[in-house]
Amino acid sequence: MANSFDLIVIGAGITGLTAACCAVDRGKSVALFEAELMGGLVVNVGKLDGYPTTADVSGIELAMTLAEQCMTNGVQITEEPVESVAIDGENKVVKTASGEYRAPKLIVASGASLKKLGVPGEESLYGRGVSQCAFCDGAMFMGQEVVVVGGGDAALQEALHLAEHCSKITMVVRGNRLRARQTYVAQAADDPKFDFRWNTVVEAVKGDDGVEGVTLRDTKKDTTESLACTGVFVFVGLAPNTGYLPDDVARDETGAVTVDAALQSSIPGLYAAGAARSGYPGQIANAVGEGTAAAIAALG
């Protein structure tokens, strides 16, 4: 039957690409859907940490290697968004603008999107000083002062890259400590370019044709101040990309799919792995491992 497969994978980040590669290697017919960039958010990472290799590997290098393997081995890749998923007996029906695709097993690996601050000036200045990719845009801020919002691994990793270009990095952290891995924290603490604003949030991004500064609020003192800068880099968490799934797929409070030990959701035959699932640890090795585990669980 046309557009029928053994397995459908939604999302071509590292998790989805790994799952598709694993499944096609086992002789299964696989359809892979990706609406945006092959590789997902990891392509913005210049050097992967926590990935077992003897040499430095960038996110885009790993993603392109997996994508080429998928295409060479016969995975059908469709570059358009999934509009919805329906359940028809044992089949999962994936609907896009171009048609319907069916498979008894489905792996949700659509990852997550970077959250935004939702403050005045952020949207209008996005791409004109507001960014969510230091590896993409950092060189444009050579010798300038920038703000990085967030206190986790992504914020610190991107800030450390910015330190190679910028004269000063002000870290705006909602809490009173960093939540990043200690190696990142130690590097930032030892770098005189870093200034930390604890218990602080950004209330507005200011500027006309480009970023000129931010309004900061100290949540403990309930005071505000203006801080001059030319760039604002936002890394305040992720929102799972799961809105296309049926309402009866169980999710946690963030929208991430809840799964059992085999990565199967509340609907038999529908699996979730990577940043789309609840409890995902977030390391690149986890993405590879979960893609493999989901494919094996789905196909037996």
Number of domains in the chain: 2
> What pLDDT does residue 53 have?
59
Q: How much is the pTM?
A: 0.86
Q: Which of 114, 189, 187 has its CA nearest to residue 154?
A: 114
Q: Report yes or no on 126 lying in a domain.
A: yes
Task: Give a yes or no: residue 2 inside a domain.
Answer: no
Question: What pairs with residue 205 in β-bridges?
Answer: 214
Domain boundary among 209, 234, 259: 234
- Which of 211, 234, 257 is where one domain is finished? 234
> Is residue 1 domain-resident?
no
β-bridge mates for residue 204, sequence order: 215
**pLDDT tens, 44-97?**
676 666 566 556 777 778 888 888 989 999 999 999 999 999 999 999 999 999
Position 220 in a domain: yes
Mean pLDDT, the chain, rounded, equals 93
Mean pLDDT of 154-162: 95
Asked whether the predicted pLDDT for residue 300 surpasses 60, the reply is: yes
In terms of domains, do 103 and 242 share one?
yes
CB 122, CB 130: distance < 8 Å: yes
Q: Yes or no: say if 70 and 77 are a contact pair by the CB < 8 Å rule.
A: yes
* Cα first-last separation, the chain: 22
Q: What is the CATH number of the domain that holds 210?
A: 3.50.50.60
**Distance from C-alpha of 260 to C-alpha of 297, rounded to nearest angstrom:** 11
Residue 180 sits at the vertex; the CA angle it makes with 179 and 185, to the nearest 5 degrees, is 110
Q: Tell me what pLDDT residue 232 has.
A: 98
- Per the structure, the complete domain to which residue 53 belongs is given by 7-113+238-299
Residues 249, 226 share a domain: no
